Amino acid sequence: MSSVVSGVPQPVAQSVAIGRGGLAAPPVGYGAAALGNLYQALGDDEWPGIVPAAWAGGIRYFDVAPHYGLGLAERRLGESLRQLPRDEYIVSTKVGRLLVPQDAAGRTDIDNLFDVPADHRRVQDYSRDGVLRSIEQSLERLGLDRIDIALVHDPDAHEREALEGAFPALSELRDQGVITSFGAGMNQSAMLARFVRETDADVMMVAGRWTLLDQSAADDLLPLAHEHDVTVLAAAVFNSGILATDAPAQDALFDYGPAELPVVERARSIARIARRHGSSLPELAAQYPLTHPAVAAVVMGGASAEQVSRNSRLVARPVAAEVWDELREHGLISRERHPVR
């Protein structure tokens, strides 16, 4: 499943298994939140170029959710993907938030970070019926013949409902061939680890917890996933932006808020080591998650064709083994060398 040899990431060209149902794609995916007007609206001369740029860069896995722009991201992603060969890409979307129509009354959804009319409201529903309705609605918005992977979205306050409702429903849908794989996507690793132990899910997406600056998923999710043959997809690998440039600024963001000085200094230390070996901090940020054999792919966003093209190139040139060795020596990443599956 891993795209690494002896802990060193390999070029993006090869495909890796995602889940246990026969899906495979190169080890970099596109997270489509920006297609839902994340932070700011994308014009009709901007968003149509994003998926083609991802495709040209070798990306064949696309992740979305109803939450992103109150369904706008699903509609735009589907419109873009319908122009491409269906058997050559993987689509994942999420369940747990149903979209219910309402009168926008001139309001936008910017309080939830999306610059779209607030013409729907989100209703959290992790029940069996909620999952079935969510899948049906997502298929309609996407306009595609199928969803390959369904992920339970942020069930932090709904763990029991997800275990008793959402996961059994998704297991049924997988058995029926409606979806190929399922799991959960969250900003924490501990609950994902419990889902690995207590369900028959085969894919987990962890956001921000397996990065150069936060390696907490190594304490629970990653070893369990490796043991249970569950694919891990690593998202938010730039930790809100601090790792996205080769010179982290003093006012850089880390996990959705201002980064504290020790975090900035640590990122800068990593960047200096990267430069000394002819690499960049964003390259290390994109490739480091792939050094664990449970991780099949990194999922990165992008609000323009240029950003997406750049992100796809970040995993194309393998980081030298000496870089990881030096980072370990300085205590900047875990000293553990992960076994290869």
State how far the Cα of 36 lies from the Cα of 125, in Å rounded to an integer.
21
pTM above 0.85, yes or no: yes
Of 185, 125, 126, 123, nearest in space to 150 by CA: 185
State how far the Cα of 273 lies from the Cα of 159, in Å rounded to an integer.
41
Single-letter amino acid code for the residue at 83: Q
Residue 340 covered by a domain: no
Q: Which CATH number covers residue 71?
A: 3.20.20.100
Single-letter amino acid code for the residue at 263: V
Q: Which of 68, 89, 126, 288 is catalytic?
A: 68
pLDDT digit string (tens) for the chain, length 341 residues: 334 433 443 334 589 999 999 999 999 999 999 999 999 999 999 999 999 999 999 999 999 999 999 999 999 999 999 999 999 999 999 999 999 999 999 999 999 999 999 999 999 999 999 999 999 999 999 999 999 999 999 999 999 999 999 999 999 999 999 999 999 999 999 999 999 999 999 999 999 999 999 999 999 999 999 999 999 999 999 999 999 999 999 999 999 899 999 999 999 999 999 999 999 999 999 999 999 999 999 999 999 999 999 999 999 889 999 999 999 999 999 876 554 43
- Domain housing 145: 4-329
Residue 216 covered by a domain: yes
How much is the pLDDT for 4? Answer: 40
Do residues 161 and 195 touch, judged by C-beta distance below 8 A? no
Do residues 152 and 179 touch, judged by C-beta distance below 8 A? no
Residue 334 covered by a domain: no
How much is the pLDDT for 82? Answer: 97
Of 173, 180, 176, nearest in space to 135 by CA: 173
Residue 294 covered by a domain: yes
Total count of domains within the chain: 1
Active site (annotated) includes residue 126: no
Write the CA distances from 297 to 18, 28, 29, 238, 294, integer angstroms: 8, 5, 7, 14, 9
Residue 149 covered by a domain: yes
